[in-house]
Amino acid sequence: MKFIRLTPENVRYYVGYEIIFKSRGKSIVKIILDTSKGGKSIKIDHPDLQNCLQIVSREVYVIVKNDKYDK
């Protein structure tokens, strides 16, 4: 398992993947449902953040469970 930081350039490749981020001092794991056109925000199921998460102002990481280089 490894973590990849989301950027506006790579976010479109990770729709459907789990992400981890911090909100109100807690680590939260959610699934990316969709991205904005510009790639600066993602849609998630988290009403506390109005189901939208800005990725340029937060550290958001994708959880990649299996990589072709993992053994």
Domain ranges of the chain: 2-64
The yes-or-no verdict on residue 68 having pLDDT over 80 is: no
Q: Look at the pTM and tell me if it is higher than 0.85.
A: yes
Predicted local confidence at residue 70, as pLDDT: 60
Write the pLDDT tens digit of every residue in 13-62: 999 999 999 999 999 999 999 999 999 999 999 999 999 999 999 999 99
Nearest Cα to 4, choosing from 13, 35, 24?
A: 13
**Architecture of the domain spanning 2-64:** Roll (2.30)
Which residue reads 């993602």 in tokens?
Answer: 42
The yes-or-no verdict on residue 6 having pLDDT over 70 is: yes
Predicted local confidence at residue 16, as pLDDT: 96
Q: Are 17 and 32 in contact (CB under 8 A)?
A: yes
